[in-house]
Structure 1
Amino acid sequence: MQNTFRLVAFCCFISILTAGCVYKRDLPQGNLITPDMVSRLQPGMSRQQVQQVMGSPLLDDPFDASVWDYVYRLKTAEGEVIRKRVTLNFDNNQLAGIEKSGNIDASERASDKGAPASGAAIQPGEVVSPDQGGGY
């Protein structure tokens, strides 16, 4: 009987110690938007040039094909939420306007964790094979 009590007490003690050891991770959603990507956008660029810089838009406006939206949301493990949005307007398939909202310069900590071991940056739309160090 005494051994059973000790075993139950020990199990309770271990469960209390491990209760605070919950792993939380950053949760990125949407298109990665970096200050470098936004600074490379110039009025007059074609849709294809914009796609090479920014990747495919997250949202296509169903009512107006001349508007592309890039949206990014990062919820950090600490609970901080970073929101970014870039809306691009096209006129005759040429970039005519750039609207930014959110903190474009905010850090993307989650994106740094998935970088290749070689340290080379992965460009939007680039396919990385396992032998290139992408870890996929």
Structure 2
Amino acid sequence: MRLLATLVLALSLSGCGMSIVHKLDVQQGNLVAPETFAKLKTGMTRTEVRTLLGTPLLTDVFHANRWDYYFRSEKRGQLVEQNRFSVFFENERVTRVEGGPTLSAAGTAPKK
């Protein structure tokens, strides 16, 4: 009987030693669909850009005329999608945009 109890206890505790780490799905930044990005035009005001794209993730104190938008998505610790672009202003109007929505890490177009 004592041997059976020891065996049951040993088998029960062996499951506690398994190390399965749960990794969260992480999404950071502004997810901007390619269709929405296509609506961004030179000459738009800051308010129009903020309404269309949302508040920028980064506003640089040293570059007040540049808004940086960034999006990163990870699933189980693996990069799924990453997008970055910058919107430049002069006299409160868009003068140019650098970057834009790109393909996901898997090589397919980003999902909505």
Q: TM-score, normalised by structure 2?
A: 0.76
Amino-acid identity (%): 28
One-letter identity of the residue aligned with 1:6? L
* Alignment partner, residue 11 of structure 2: 10
* Alignment partner, residue 44 of structure 1: 43
More strand, by proportion: 2
One-letter identity of the residue aligned with 1:73? R
* Alignment partner, residue 31 of structure 2: 32
Q: After the TM superposition, list the runs of 4 or more consecutive aligned residues in structure 1 that deviate by more than 3 angstroms.
A: 12-16, 22-25
Aligned residues, how many? 106
Report the Cα distance in structure 2 between the residues aligned to 1:19 and 1:7, rounded to whole angstroms: 21
- Of the two, which has the highest radius of gyration? 2
Secondary structure of the residue aligned to 1:25 is coil
CA contact (8 A) 1:33 1:104 kept: no
Any gaps of 5 or more consecutive residues in structure 2? 105-109
Q: Does 1:75 align with 2:74?
A: yes
* Alignment partner, residue 104 of structure 1: 102
Q: How far off is 1:76 after superposition? A: 1.7
CA contact (8 A) 2:85 2:98 kept: yes
CA contact (8 A) 2:88 2:95 kept: yes
Q: How far off is 1:23 after superposition? A: 4.0
* Alignment partner, residue 93 of structure 2: 94
Q: TM-score, normalised by structure 1?
A: 0.65
Report the Cα distance in structure 2 between the residues aligned to 1:105 and 1:13, rounded to whole angstroms: 44
Report the Cα distance in structure 2 between the residues aligned to 1:74 and 1:3, rounded to whole angstroms: 50
Any gaps of 5 or more consecutive residues in structure 1? 113-136
